[in-house]
Amino acid sequence: MQGTNAADVRPTGAIGDYSMSVSVVDEKRLAALRASIDAADFQELRARVPALLEARIAGLRRAAAHGDFTALEHEAHALISAAGNLGAKPLSALAAELEISASRRDRAAIAKIVCAIDDNAPLTLAALRAMV
């Protein structure tokens, strides 16, 4: 994405109105996080976060594929926190929708939200990898 700040890229086709109007990563949240920890800890976090989020997303995909609603709720809840703490608001909001849909055992909604997460995740991960 040459010439574009990855955090300003907006996902398309996601569930919920927020996905069309909110950057994939909140720069103010990242700046606050950066200011609250020392530089070495921030760099370590920066290095670890994409793999952590990828593992959570893979876990929720597996749970959805197996119809394991309990595991899906757990993975979605963990993704809400992990993404939210980093300012990845759209991804966190999608995970919140997924947690609710899993608790309701709504397979159709789950399938749509997992697809929306799959659409959003590459943009979010790119933005987080680009954080300076």
> How is domain 14-30+38-129 classified at the CATH fold level?
Four Helix Bundle (Hemerythrin (Met), subunit A) (1.20.120)
- Closest by CA position to 116, among listed 41, 25, 17, 39: 17
The tokens of 14 are what?
């996601």
The tokens of 47 are what?
């290095």
pTM, 2 dp: 0.81
Instruction: Name the residue ranges covered by the structural domains of the chain.
Output: 14-30+38-129
The predicted-structure confidence for 70-115, as pLDDT tens digits, reads as follows 999 999 999 999 999 888 999 999 999 999 999 999 999 999 999 9
Judged against a pLDDT cut of 70, whether residue 7 lies above it is answered with no
